Structure 1
Amino acid sequence: MQCIYDVTTEELVAWLEARGQPAYRAKQILEGVYRHRVASFASLSALPRWLRQELAAEFEVGGLPVVRRWDGEDSLKLLVALGDGEMVECVGMRTRWGETACVSCQVGCAMGCAFCASALGGYRRNLTASEIVRQVISLEAAGARISNIVFMGMGEPLLNYDQVLSAIHTFVAPDRMAISPRHITVGTCGIVPAIRRLARDAPRRVELAVSLNAPTDDLRRKLMPGAAKWRLAELLEACDFWTEARGGQPVTYAYVLLRGVNDAPSHADELAKLLAGRRHLVNLIRMNPVEGCQLTASSKARALAFARRLQDQGISVTLRRSRGRDVRAACGQLRRHDDQARASCQGKLYPVGRRAKKQQ
């Protein structure tokens, strides 16, 4: 069965015309699907009953089935089921700027970053655009009021380029979800050709965040083996291209602080040299705990000293407060669920409209 979120307006009009229906029906359907977020075509009362029944027989609509939910102090994490039995996690985070959806774009991840749970179970497959969109709809059905979207869940977005770009267009289109492009951020480990391509293809004002994490090629290769194909010089040239192609738009550089690994004063000095003269914002993140990982977070004092050293050299920097740690939903903590976990979850679908008891 095809998903309605994968259907273009032109395809929907053709489907309707084949059934003797006028083109304006497409607007009625899309308005119900996107503006009103209907979970069933039966809710589209402006349509004839027979047409609603045909839509239900041909297309899926609504969020993904929720296998499990965790309610944290400032976040909501959902484990959602895909049509082939795979599962991914997505997160809604509450901030003073509104609620942000952190969506996954792959089942697992092939990048192998040493500090990230998503890489531990390996890579299974890419998500479709509709599977990405439906994560947001699932979060909204669970009570989140999403106004921002970050592609920073499971997987490398730029290795699923076409589907991620298609999802972005669905998010920003005025007749779809109508989210401002400036409220959408694509995170990447640094897939150089795709950064250049995205600079040309992405809607204006969509943001780019690059996971940097090391100021030298040797250290970055150890921490992020999947990104080692491109040297830092090549990555930064691609980021410069992004800024130039998009009218001076800066790049956010994420830097996960690891105790005794990349948090020395010399690392801060090398990072400052790399970014000098570039439009940038450095987002420092103390590593979040990952089960089975030997790396640990820098101390708060060490992180503050690192930030001050960057600031003293003219670098724009923030030290990010981690949200979602209490439900393992913080940066680097989302993970693929293995076959045993899938088997244990069979039949345990949680109602998304009710706050569930917090689960660890």
Structure 2
Amino acid sequence: MAFGASLSNATSMQLSSSLHGEALLSSSSSTLLMGSPLNLSSSSLSGKKSHLPKRFVLVSKRVSGLEEAMRIRRERELRTSTTAKRSPPLRRGKVSQRLPVPDHIPKPPYLGSNLLPELSSEHQIHDSEGIAHMRAACELAARVLDYAGTLIRPSVTTNEIDKAVHQMIIDAGAYPSPLGYGGFPKSVCTSVNECMCHGIPDSRQLQDGDIINIDVTVYLNGYHGDTSKTFLCGNVSDSMKRLVKVTEECLQKGIAVCKDGALFRKIGKRISEHAEKFGYGVVDRFVGHGVGTVFHSEPVIYHHRNDKSGCMVEGQTFTIEPILTLGSIECVTWEDNWTTLTADGSPAAQFEHTILITRTGAEILTKY
């Protein structure tokens, strides 16, 4: 589950770069040329005296062939996305009552309060027993997510998905971690199309061409396992399919740099590098987090370029969960204080794994 709705702007660091070349013609008049042709008089081309300055300095930013090709493809996608058939903007449906959990199932300590718990400052590093518990919780979360994916088809409501996920989790003797966390009313997050994250399941039916992220976290034997995936519903456009594919690739590239002693900031660097090849935005408001006996703890995992200090430690568990968009990374949150959408209505996709840091790399505990 993406943590970061309460992060201040001061902690959100974003480095952006343009794929467009710029040319600056410097002279005594400091003229800026924005793609306009440079008009020279016939007298200047002949031997006659010219009024033009004697020195010209042309400063330009070099654009590689790959960058230029990706920029052109990105612009083409944006043009076609405005004319292609799109689902209407998301509207909140009816949210049903909170589902019950049997008394015999152990509950996490944050229940009983609608206040969002503070981010724990303790990094969660496990011994062999703790790692065994983490594997069990994460394996269950992965199975639940895989099952939820089989339910996706046009006309199914996100509320129906929530109900099925809830039942599978409690049947396994676990608790659905989102339920009651900071007052969240449901057992799973379902984020459709332009919803970045934290979508609340409701009566809206899935439409042909939708994409939907399902974010599952389970609390089993005192440990949380956290994972999410973006699924396709019916006939999805090529541009949205590519967004989903690249987002999953970004997750894998972020995981690939992880090992004992590696710098946390390498994750955001690697994710940003890959996303930028396709012109996608990397959301900086929502972050990964430590996970274990506590749902959300340090370290905070930024998915964009950053200068975060600190190194990974063997036995540590945390999530990586990048969100990419086809357009703006700015967001708006509904009055429910959870559902967060892209400000421009462009589609967003997210993938998430809980990983365990090892001496030589990282073990994915929530393999789909």
Q: TM-score range by the shorter chain?
A: under 0.3
Q: TM-score, normalising length from structure 1?
A: 0.26
**Rg: which structure is higher?**
2
Under a length normalisation based on structure 2, what TM-score does the superposition of the two structures give?
Answer: 0.26
* Structure with the largest fraction of helix: 1
